[in-house]
Copies of this chain bind each other. A is one copy, B any other.
Amino acid sequence: MALQAGGVSDDVARRLRERGIRPSVQRVAIARVALASHRHPSADEVWEQVKERLPMVSRATVYNTLNRLVEEGLLRSFASAQGHTVFDPNTAPHHHLVDDATGTIYDLPWEALAVDGVDALEGFEVRDFQVVLHGRPTRRSR
C-alpha cells in the first residue's frame, strides 16, 4: 500500500522511523489511534477504532504493534484495576485516578501531588512510583 501525504500520519511515521520501526500502513494507523488517545485504551479498543479506517487489520498486528511501541518507549502499558492491559501515550510521570464504577482512568499531573518519604525508605531501591487514587469526577468536565 502507498503511504499517504497527510500531516498527522507523516508525523506519526516519522516518530516510528526514529525508533527503527518501519512505518507500514497498519502500524501508522494503530500508532495514530494509540498515541493520540486521551483515554487509556485496551488493545481491543484500539483495534475497534483502527478497523473503522482499515477494516482488514488483524488482531495480532494490533497486539504486536502496541507491544512494540511500548518496547520502543512511545507508549507505556499497565494493568487496569480490572486486570486488563491498557496503553498510555503519556509517558511522562503522572498519577492516576480510577473511577471504579466506570473503569475510566484519569490522568493527574505530577505536580498535583507531593509524595514524601520515598528517599528515606529502608531496605528498598525505588526506581519510580506514582499515586493511584480511586474516586470519581465531580463536575461533568473531562
Identical subunits present? 2
Q: Does A131 contact B (CB under 8 A)?
A: yes
- Shortest Cβ gap from A99 to chain B (Å): 9
Category for how many chain A residues contact B = 35 or more
- Among B106, B124, B134, which residue has its beta carbon within 8 angstroms of that of A133? B124
- Interface majority SS on A: helix, strand, loop or mixed? strand
- Among B114, B116, B125, B134, which residue has its beta carbon within 8 angstroms of that of A135? B125
* Residue in B closest to A82 when the chains form the complex, CB atoms: B79
Contact indicator per residue, chain A 9-47, by CB within 8 Å of chain B (1) or not (0): 000000000000000000000000000000000000000
Interface residues in chain A, defined as those with a beta carbon under 8 Å from any beta carbon in chain B: 78-85, 97, 106, 108, 112-118, 121, 123-139, 141-142
